[in-house]
Structure 1
Amino acid sequence: MNDQAAFDHERAPGKARFDDIYDQPDPRAYFARLAPLEYQIPHHAQAEFRRTLAERTRAADCAGEVAVLDLCCSYGINAALLNHDLTLADLYAHYTDPALGRLTTAELVERDKQFYTARRHRHAVPVIGLDIAGNALSYALAVGLLDDACSVNLEHDEPNASVRRAMAHTGLIVSTGAGSYITARTVSALLDQARRPVWISAFILRTVDYRPVIDRLRSYGLITRSDPADLYPQRLFATPDEQHHAVAAVLRSGQEPHGRESAGRYYARLYRSRPATAWADQPD
């Protein structure tokens, strides 16, 4: 087990590992593996991220175009849903199409350039991806989903030039899968490089203790809101052992797994973090 795998295991004990699909040259294996598990959190995030981006753009402190940084972006799925006339179901259908299975990665990249260009919104915004999966980042850049990418592990390494460049323009950080793999260290590494006020919208599994991150965000002047009753199904459990660990983690946190994790799925909460001034005209 390498250092990153050991860290991930410590952060998410019992969680099934999908290392073999996270860093392939293209996303076909990713979608084929996750389809039977009904992985769906990017679907729930699509409307939230679009709405939050619109609010961030209208904020009084917003000067110029807002760039979005997708933390643990994988193959650029959130960017595809944010900037294109597509649903997650469309992406599943596209990447599990048997006709595409016969293409080489190079051929798929050329096909996907056309696929995304034809569906891109006129008012698409720059999206920057951060992930340790270099192949996934390369694919997302090649097909035009990402405008820039940072291949760095901020849990272990200091921010590099790509992070500094990204955070000079980022006004919104989003995430649908980072909670199990990052800590407040990564959050600090990003916000220390910020050159404009940053909002954060993150979907975090209920098995993850997000309080240390919330506390760290408060030290940067960001106030976090979350409704514990507003839950989103993430995916089916891959194994009974995974479900056992998840139910135990939810119980330890003082939450109720009945009808949620006990029924066979991971569930996530949405956490919105903004400067206090941005919450001033929002209802509690």
Structure 2
Amino acid sequence: MVGTGCGGSDGVAGGKSRFDDIYDRPDPRAYFRRLAPLEYEIPHHAQPVFRQVATERAALDDGRPHTPAVLDVCCSYGINAALLNHDVTLAEMCERYTSSACQAVSRAELARQDKEFYAERRRPDAVPVFGLDVAAPAVHYAIEVGLLDAAFTDDLEQGSPSPRLSRALAEVGLITLTGGGSYITARTFTELLDGVSRPVWVSAFVLRTVSYHPFVRTLAAHGLRTTVDVSRTYPQRLFTDERERQYAIAAVRALGGDPAGREEAGRFHTLHYESRPDWERRDRCLAEGL
């Protein structure tokens, strides 16, 4: 799938093209070669949002010994982590990994160069980032080059967090998502939120072809209130073909949206959902003895 590695085989599912084969590669070169012609851009739009939210969430933990970690769900090769913690843009990453010079080197040499590349661009306000994705080659590369502080391949659609992930959840203060809402369900969020110990925020970019309501209900059950500005959308990528375009138009309409000027114009679009603790509801319940 585009933007995550949490999927099955390549092809078309429900009318939406899938790109799962690019997450089983030993490095991100195939990922960028495949997505560059489709003008994949959602991590670019998420970059300033996630930086701002991570800063605000960290401010809540002033005085605590460790900065709250960000858990990027369906993290693939650590793209969101790269953009969050380094002075680099998605366009620069795309140019880097599709360049002839990059294509010419071995995987080992690319990893060596990447480790140096990102270390030189590490921001002073970098925060710990954990990655969760069933695509083991992708997360292993992100760990090797220093983009992720920890990575997990637990399939929470099928089971509960491993002991290692459970221990890591104690440090998580923010969960991020760009695209994975198409392929995971609220069950993954339930498994994560059942295991956290700090107040957790969730910042998610979700395709308009997908209903986020089951996630919102799960988040509410864990004390989080979700907001979304439906008037503002963020483009994700071009459609692969007319079949995918027609699928997206129909899916958006089925959910009560208007595809005019967005999906009808040839691109997937996302909405940004922000979920934070509902302190007012909690205080009201405490005051009423509930």
Q: Which of the five TM-score ranges fits, normalised by the shorter chain?
A: over 0.9
Which of residues 100, 106, 109 is equivalent to 2:108? Answer: 106
For 2:54 and 2:230, how far apart are their aligned partners in 1? 23
Query: In the aligned structure 1, how far is the partner of 2:169 from the partner of 2:63?
Result: 15
Q: Are 1:136 and 2:170 an aligned pair?
A: no
Structure-1 separation of matches of 2:35 and 2:86: 22
Could you say what the CA RMSD is over the residues aligned between the two structures, in angstroms? 1.8
Unaligned stretches of 5+ residues in structure 2: 1-6, 283-290
Aligned position for 2:71: 69
Q: What is the alpha-carbon distance in structure 1 between the residues aligned to residue 164 and residue 24 of structure 2?
A: 20
**Residues 227/176 of structure 1: CA separation in 2 closer, same or farther (3 Å cut):** same
**In the TM superposition, what is the alpha-carbon distance from 1:61 to its structure 2 partner?**
8.0
**Counterparts in 2 of 1:45-56, with a 5 A limit?**
45-56=46-57
Change in Cα spacing, 1:102 to 1:272, as seen in structure 2 (3 Å) is same
Secondary structure at the aligned position of 2:279 is classed as helix
Q: Kindly provide the amino acid, as one letter, of the partner of residue 116 in structure 1.
A: Y
C-alpha displacement of 1:162: 2.6
2:187 corresponds to which residue? 185
- SS of the aligned residue for 1:5 comes to coil
The aligned runs of 1:1-284 (5 Å cut-off) are 5=8, 13-59=14-60, 63=64, 64-277=66-279
Give percent identity, aligned residues only. Answer: 54
What's the TM-score once normalised by structure 1's chain length?
Answer: 0.93
Does the aligned pair in 1 maintain the 2:61–2:67 contact within 8 Å?
no
Deviations 1:237-256 (A, max 9, x none): 01111111110000001110
What are the ranges of 5 or more consecutive residues in structure 1 without an aligned counterpart? none
SS of residue matched to 2:274: strand
Q: Is the 8 A contact 1:233 1:265 kept in 2?
A: yes
Cα deviation, residue 230, structure 1: 1.2
Distance (Å, rounded) in 1 between the aligned partners of 2:243 and 2:263: 12
Instruction: Indicate how the Cα distance of structure 1 residues 49 and 129 shifts in structure 2: closer, same or farther if over 3 A, else same.
Output: same
SS of 2:18 mapped into structure 1: coil
Tell me which amino acid in the other structure corresponds to 2:112.
E
Aligned residue pair count? 274
Q: What secondary structure is seen at the aligned counterpart in 1 of 2:181?
A: coil
Moved more, 75-84 or 62-71: 62-71
Relative to the length of structure 2, the TM-score reads 0.91
**CA pair 95-279 structure 1, distance change in 2 beyond 3 A:** farther
